[in-house]
Structure 1
């Protein structure tokens, strides 16, 4: 997945106060869209150090923390071990390079992950395959910001364009809204949106 090398280098110092705060806000936004999730399985896709997923662990029956960075996975393993969490597992895997047959979940959520993925359509299609019937994909990411110029990440997303792409893939009942302003994105003031979609 995009920028894995960079994340390997910062894994042990990733959890800054700002990232912890935004993770709490993101988890709260995701929580609003959960329906009878206590018996459901979840994947924290592109989990990083698990900041968002750890906030949501008690909402699900089980959670898989998945990331392309082994350094990030080591960080979440330490958190899981330190808290003796029975329903959390980890996997280091790159969905851009391969699809993972046999992996299925009721909920997949990804927070500030999509902007690092060069081929957005490919990964969203592969996640669609992983979702169980009736399952939800929840995306938290930056609204498009023309002031952000980078050859490493997307400069955010137009919510309507993302809805169109996901509809083409097969996602249904898509709803989206901006829920957080005041974040920083590559040094620019930015806002975050949440998108909820279903595989029906």
Structure 2
């Protein structure tokens, strides 16, 4: 498993990550109706690069990550950004559901391929979203297993079919998956590009017959 606590302090030193987050924020804003009244959750937020990039377009951003080190660094980044509408906390929705106020938009960047049960994760994100709210997930297109070091136990990207089935099983509607951007990583001394999709959906709930 990747030791994200150990990697946290130098995470933002990679300019590719910073640029990827900026482009991801732009892609989300172009795909869903991002509004300045929205309360937003970034799941698997790491140091909060995506949430910070979105924060000037929305009312509030909550950064959530299971790594204590990442959240400590995220809090430093929040202070450096001077933004008062961002908070960060340690948490894992696959371990326990969100217990606070729900969100109008949930976003995630390059986190889902680390999660064994993506249907459980998407179900928990659905539960954390208001009726009619949006989810926007960016992650790896299918790849041959070279993005991570040997022994990586997560997913080597996601096919369109697998994504649509997982979102539907979690209760989402209006699922749309599209090409969004590329991300770069050095493999064997060579800089390689990997495709990143953007999947968006709405958390619409059936009427209460009671």
Instruction: Give me the TM-score of the superposition, normalised by structure 2.
Output: 0.87
* Bigger CA radius of gyration: 2
Give per-residue Cα distances to partners, 1:29-84, cap 9 Å, x unaligned.
Answer: 11112315111100111111111111110111111011111111111111212233
Partner residue of 2:195? 191
Partner residue of 2:159? 158
Backbone CA RMSD of aligned residues: 1.8
Would you say how many aligned residue pairs link Structure 1 and Structure 2?
197
Measured in 1, the distance between the counterparts of 2:182 and 2:82 equals 35
Cα distance change on mapping 1:182 and 1:137 into 2, 3 Å: closer
Cα distance change on mapping 1:151 and 1:181 into 2, 3 Å: closer
Partner residue of 1:143? 141
Deviates more, 1:17-26 or 1:127-136: 17-26
Residue pair 1:183, 1:192 contacting (<8 A) in 2 also: no
Task: Classify the secondary structure of the residue corresponding to 2:31.
Answer: coil
Following superposition, the deviation at residue 168 of structure 1 comes to 2.0
Task: Classify the secondary structure of the residue corresponding to 1:106.
Answer: strand
Measured in 1, the distance between the counterparts of 2:115 and 2:41 equals 17
Runs (5+) with no aligned partner, structure 2: 205-210
Partner residue of 1:94? 92
Deviates more, 1:77-86 or 1:111-120: 77-86
Matched, 1:9 2:10: no
Partner residue of 1:117? 115
Measured in 2, the distance between the counterparts of 1:65 and 1:180 equals 22
Residue pair 2:184, 2:194 contacting (<8 A) in 1 also: yes
Runs (5+) with no aligned partner, structure 1: none
Following superposition, the deviation at residue 197 of structure 1 comes to 0.4
Measured in 2, the distance between the counterparts of 1:13 and 1:52 equals 16
Instruction: Give me the TM-score of the superposition, normalised by structure 1.
Output: 0.91
Measured in 2, the distance between the counterparts of 1:177 and 1:150 equals 29
